[in-house]
Structure 1
Amino acid sequence: MTRVLYIQASPRGARSASAQVAQAYIDALKKKGDVNVDLLDVWKDDLPAFDGPALEAKYAGLSGQSLDEAQKAAWVAISSLGARFRDADEIVLSVPMWNFGVPYKLKQLIDLVTQKDVTFTFDENGFGGMLKKQNAVVVCARGLEYVEGTPVSEENLDYQKAYLISWLSFLGVGEIKTITVEKTLMGADASSAALASGIAEATAMAT
C-alpha cells in the first residue's frame, strides 16, 4: 500500500486549478494499486498556533530543558503533524500562487513541522532531513504566465515553486516532481487549456 499525504493549500476546494490537477494525479495513482490518502487541508484542519508555548517548547528542547504542561501539549500537536509527513511514502501538494509566494496557511504548516527531531536533525556536522524515504509531487497554479527573460519570470518573481522545492529538499525528500499550471486568470479559454494540460501531465506522471 502506498501512503500519500495530500496537502491542499487552496481555500477554493474543487474549483482550485491546483487541486483539480493534484486530484487527477491521485486518481490515476489509485488505478495502479492500493493507495491510502491522508488529506491535510490547511484551511479546514485546525492547525495549532505557533505561539508562546510552542516557541518556548522549541527552545527548551534545543537547550535540553524539561517542558512544562503547556509546552508539552503544544509540542505534541506539532509532533503529531510531523508524524503524518514521516509516515507517508509520497507527499502531494496543491498550491496556488499568492502574491508570488504561497498561501499563509501553508506557511503556517511549514513553520509548524519544520522542527528539529520532527522533520530534520542537526548536530556539529550540519543538518539532515528526516524524510529521506519520501518522494513528492508539487502542483503549482498561477494566474499569469512567467516567461524567462521578461520582468514577469520565475527567476524574478517565483517564491512559490522554488521555495517549496528548497523546503522539501531541506527535509531530505529525494525525488521532487513538479507540475505548473499557468494563465489561470487570463481568460476562460487560456485557463481551460492550461487546466487540461496540467491534468494530462498529472495523469501521465502517475502511470
Structure 2
Amino acid sequence: MNILVVKANNRPAAEGVSSQMYQTFMESIKDNSSINIKTYDVFEEDMPYLGQELFDAFGKLQSGGQLTDGEQRLLTAKQKAMDAVTEADLIVFAFPLWNLTIPARLQTFVDYIYSVGFTFKYDENGNMVQLLNDKKVIFLNARGGVYSSPEMAPIEMAVNYMRNVFHATFGMEIVDEVIIEGHNAMPDKADEIVAEGLEKVKEVAKKLSLQHV
C-alpha cells in the first residue's frame, strides 16, 4: 500500500494537537515495511495560490505561448500535488480547524487537485462523475472547541468540507476519522481529551499495519 500523509499544521507538537496526531500516526506505522509512506507538508512545499495566473498559463499551453517563471512555478506545484495523489492508495490528512475551516495552505492543496478530468468529470447529461473511487482517505483533525453538538456542527467547515470534497466529489472511501475536540474549551480535561484521541490515532495506524503485514 502506498500512503500519502498530508501534514497541514506547522505548529510544534507541544502546541498543535493535529501536529501531535501526525507525529503519533507516523511513529505508529513506521516499522511496517510493507507500507510505503510519503509525506506532503503543505507548509514546506512551494505552493503559490491559484488565481488568474493559472488560467493564463493554461491558455499559453494551448496556444504554444511562453510561460512566465511564475506561471511555470504554479503549474509545477500543481502537478506535484496531483502526482502525489495519483501514486497513493490511501491519503491521510492531519489538519486543524482554524477559524471554522481548514488552513489556507491545505486549501491550496485541494485547489491543485480539484480538477475536471483528474478528480471528477461531467457526463453527457451534465452529471458529475467521481474519478477517484479506487482511493481511500483518513482524516485526523483537531479542534479546540466542541463542534459535534447539533447546534455547532453546521458551522464546522473543516471536516465537513473535507468529507464533501474527498468523498462526495472525488469518490474516495473514508475508512477512518479521528477528531480530537474540546481541549481548549475544557482546559481542565485537556490532557485526558488529547491522550484519548492519540490512542485512537494509534489504533488507526495499527489497523492499517495489520492489513498489510
CA distance in 1, matches of 2:148, 2:116: 37
Which is worse superposed, 21-30 or 41-50? 21-30
Match runs of 1:126-165 below 5 Å: 126-150=127-151, 153-155=152-154, 157-165=155-163
Which is worse superposed, 123-132 or 178-187? 123-132
1:46-74 CA-to-partner distances (Å, cap 9, x unmatched) read 1133233312345x49xx94453328734
1:69 maps to 66
Matched, 1:85 2:82: no
1:75/1:46 CA distance change after superposition, 3 Å = closer
1:180 maps to 179
What TM-score, normalized by structure 2, do the two folds share? 0.81
Q: Kindly state the Cα deviation for residue 113 of structure 1 after the two structures are TM-superposed.
A: 1.7
Which amino acid letter does the alignment assign opposite residue 68 of structure 1?
Answer: G
1:5/1:179 CA distance change after superposition, 3 Å = same
CA distance in 2, matches of 1:31, 1:188: 34
Which is worse superposed, 102-111 or 75-84? 75-84
Q: Kindly state the Cα deviation for residue 147 of structure 1 after the two structures are TM-superposed.
A: 4.7
3-state DSSP of counterpart to 1:128: strand
What TM-score, normalized by structure 1, do the two folds share? 0.83
Do the aligned residues in 2 keep the contact of 1:17 with 1:184 (CA within 8 Å)? no
3-state DSSP of counterpart to 2:173: coil
1:127/1:67 CA distance change after superposition, 3 Å = farther
Do the aligned residues in 2 keep the contact of 1:85 with 1:131 (CA within 8 Å)? no
Which amino acid letter does the alignment assign opposite residue 154 of structure 1?
Answer: A
1:180/1:50 CA distance change after superposition, 3 Å = same
Which amino acid letter does the alignment assign opposite residue 183 of structure 2?
Answer: T
Do the aligned residues in 2 keep the contact of 1:21 with 1:195 (CA within 8 Å)? no
Q: Figure out how many residues of one structure are paired with residues of the other and give that number.
A: 200
2:170 maps to 171
1:68/1:51 CA distance change after superposition, 3 Å = farther
Give ranges in structure 2 of 5+ residues lacking alignment.
207-213
Taking every aligned residue pair, what percent have the same amino acid on both sides? Answer: 22
Q: Kindly state the Cα deviation for residue 142 of structure 1 after the two structures are TM-superposed.
A: 0.7
1:47/1:33 CA distance change after superposition, 3 Å = same
1:56-115 CA-to-partner distances (Å, cap 9, x unmatched) read 345x49xx9445332873434312211101111110111111111111111121112211
Give ranges in structure 1 of 5+ residues lacking alignment.
none
CA distance in 2, matches of 1:13, 1:87: 28
3-state DSSP of counterpart to 1:195: helix
Do the aligned residues in 2 keep the contact of 1:86 with 1:119 (CA within 8 Å)? no
Match runs of 1:1-207 below 5 Å: 2-15=1-14, 16-58=16-58, 60=59, 65-66=62-63, 68-70=65-67, 73=72, 74-125=74-125, 126-150=127-151, 153-155=152-154, 157-169=155-167, 170-186=169-185, 188-207=187-206
1:112/1:145 CA distance change after superposition, 3 Å = same
Do the aligned residues in 1 keep the contact of 2:143 with 2:182 (CA within 8 Å)? yes
CA distance in 1, matches of 2:133, 2:66: 32
CA distance in 1, matches of 2:117, 2:77: 14
Which amino acid letter does the alignment assign opposite residue 28 of structure 2?
Answer: A
